[in-house]
Amino acid sequence: MKFFESYKIEEGITCIKGLTGELMYLIEGKDRAILLDTGLGVGNIKEYVEQLTSLPYIVILSHGHLDHAGGASLFESVYINQNDVSLLHNHSDIAGRKAYLESVLGEGFVPEDAYVTFKEIEYLPIKEGDVIDLGGLTVEVIEAPGHTQGSLCFLIKEKRILFTGDACNNFTFLFLPESLPVEDYGHTIKKLLARDEEYDRVLVSHVNHELPKSVIRDVYECCIDIMEGNVDDIPFNFMGHGAAYIAKKIDPEKGKRADGRVGNIVYRKDNIFSTKGYGY
């Protein structure tokens, strides 16, 4: 069974797609490489990536969710922001990953033994401002709390690419128990927006790898609109999570925002305003 497929986005950047459409990236400099995320943990991503590159590489997780960290146990160590380590543990059992896969693909799609078994490995710290030199390519870490508390974005300066993981996209999940209030998340997006002149391409972690960079501004304005009640509020249910709402209406035929904008947020009404006491 084929668990992964991959394609080159540009020199040094390869996108790897897992069975549920979750995306991983192999970023290769002259001297070494980064595997960004490990997918759902179905099939062996370690063996797969070692067929793609002969460079020494490190593994970095954009955040601790099961569809990105599920394959981490195949490695001796991975970098993950410390604020997501407990989330990774909560998401580590096969039952949860299986339920997720079946919610996307249906039952019986993959053999039981294809699931990576969780094992305790070394979780290496990674934080805001860390810069990883791959030889001719430098990757800067930007903390982006919101979707999860330890979510990270990555800026490749030489290529003017921003990887946002799940931290900002066309359907940003902000309704999860581990998600921050919309107002706090707005501060994250403001930070990405402030660096807007440093990137041209925005790569994400689900479905299609790239979104127009206007996604960042759209999501920021979405945060403001949620706080001001200027939303369409389409009810959304996901795997038994409580009442969530899609902020901006989707055109069902195009699968995109009906008003033509790109970024969108799915949120909970009891998790809008910050308890930190700053204005927006």
| Per CB under 5 A, 91 contacts Zn ion | no
Judged by CB under 5 A, how many residues of this single chain contact Zn ion?
2
Q: Evaluate the CA torsion angle 181, 189, 235, 279 in order and state its sign.
A: positive
Residue 99 C-beta: closest distance to Zn ion, Å: 15
**Separation of alpha carbons 100 and 17, rounded Å:** 16
Q: How far is the CB of 65 from Zn ion (least distance, A)?
A: 4
User: Could you tell me which stretch among 8-16, 166-174, 213-221, 259-267 binds Zn ion (CB under 5 A)?
Assistant: 166-174
Burial per residue of 225-238, b for 16 or more beta-carbon CB atoms within 10 angstroms, e otherwise: bbbeeebeeeebee
Query: Is the CB of 174 or the CB of 262 nearer to Zn ion?
Result: 174
Give dist(CA 274, CA 184) in Å, integer. 6
d(CA 205, CA 239): 19
CB of 103 to Zn ion, least distance (A): 14
Does 98 interact with Zn ion (rule: CB under 5 A)? no
| Nearest approach, Cβ of residue 187 and Zn ion (Å) | 19
CA–CA gap between residue 159 and residue 7 (Å, rounded):
17
What is the residue-wise DSSP string for 51-113? HH--S-EEEE-S---HHHHTTGGGSSEEE--GGGHHHHHHT-SHHHHHHHHHHHH-TTSS-GG
Secondary structure percentages of the chain, helix, strand, coil, to 5:
25, 25, 50
Residue 97 engages Zn ion in binding (rule: CB under 5 A): no
Confirm or reject binding of residue 178 to Zn ion (CB under 5 A): no
From 28, 166, 178, 184, residue interacting with Zn ion (rule: CB under 5 A): 166
Binding track, positions 116-155, relative to Zn ion; x by CB under 5 A: ----------------------------------------
Q: Which is nearer to Zn ion, 166 or 183 (CB)?
A: 166
Q: Of 17-25, 51-59, 65-73, 223-231, which segment contacts Zn ion by CB under 5 A?
A: 65-73
Task: List phi, psi (to 5°) of 185.
Answer: -60, -35
- Which is nearer to Zn ion, 65 or 248 (by Cβ)? 65
User: Least CB distance from residue 57 to Zn ion, whole Å?
Assistant: 22
Residues in the chain: 280
Examine residue 65 and tell whether it contacts Zn ion (CB under 5 A): yes
Binding footprint of Zn ion on the chain (CB under 5 A): 65, 166
